[in-house]
Amino acid sequence: MRLKTIFSSLNLVEVHHLKNLLQSAGILCRIRNEDLVRLAGEIPFPECALQLVLEREEDHPAAEKLLAEFLRPQRPVKPWRCPDCGETIEGQFTACWKCGSAR
């Protein structure tokens, strides 16, 4: 049986994060080419890219759904003003960097 590749990348952190997401949803998977990825630039990308592969074909629809959610662009969050010190904080942060107050 040939394992189905669901995602390929040179980004080790991204592939491991996706593997963790899939496994936490009960989807069995593994990463191929962890040793070859270091050769990127020396050999063609398709031959050395990390590959996230599924162990079970029946997991493919659920894995594709999780992958699509992960790859969906995030909308930027508006900056906010700290209620205590008045500092402007970027939207992704939940506490003020200057005084530590919560959003």
Amino acid identity of 15?
V
Can you tell me the mean pLDDT for 35-58?
86
Structural domains in the chain plus CATH codes: 4-71 (3.30.70), 75-103 (no CATH)
Lowest mean pLDDT among 18-27, 39-48, 59-68: 39-48
Average pLDDT, the chain: 89
Helices (H), 6-75: 12-24, 45-48, 60-71
Percent of the chain exceeding pLDDT 70 equals 98
Strand partners, 102: 95
| pLDDT score, position 2 | 67
pLDDT band, residue 44 (cuts 50/70/90): confident
